[in-house]
Amino acid sequence: MIALVGAGLLLAGCGTQTDSDASTGSGEAGSASGVYEFTGTTLDGASFDGAELEGKPAVLWFWAPWCPTCRAQIPNVSQLAETYDGEVAVVGVGGLDSEDAIRELAEDIPHVTHLVDDEGKVWSHFAVTAQSTYVVLDADGKVESEGYLDDQELNDMVEKLAG
d(CA 21, CA 36) in angstroms, rounded, equals 22
For the chain, what is the radius of gyration of the CA atoms?
A: 14
- Residue 79: which CATH number? 3.40.30.10
d(CA 119, CA 80): 27
Residue 163: the pLDDT is 85
Q: Could you report the per-residue pLDDT of 90-134, keeping only the tens digit for each?
A: 999 999 999 999 999 999 999 999 999 999 999 999 999 999 999
| 30 CB neighbour count, 10 Å cutoff | 17
Using DSSP, state whether 122 is helix, strand or coil. helix
| Of 130 and 13, more confident | 130
Using alpha carbons only, what angle is made at residue 67 by residues 63 and 68, rounded to the nearest 5 degrees?
A: 120
Tell whether the model's pLDDT for residue 31 goes beyond 80: no
pLDDT digits (tens, 9 = 90+) for 130-154: 999 999 999 999 999 999 999 999 9
pLDDT value at position 33? 62
Number of domains in the chain: 1
> Which carries the bigger pLDDT value, residue 33 or residue 42?
42
Residue 45's domain comprises 2-162
Q: What is the pLDDT of residues 37-73, one digit of tens each?
A: 999 999 999 999 999 999 999 999 999 999 999 999 9
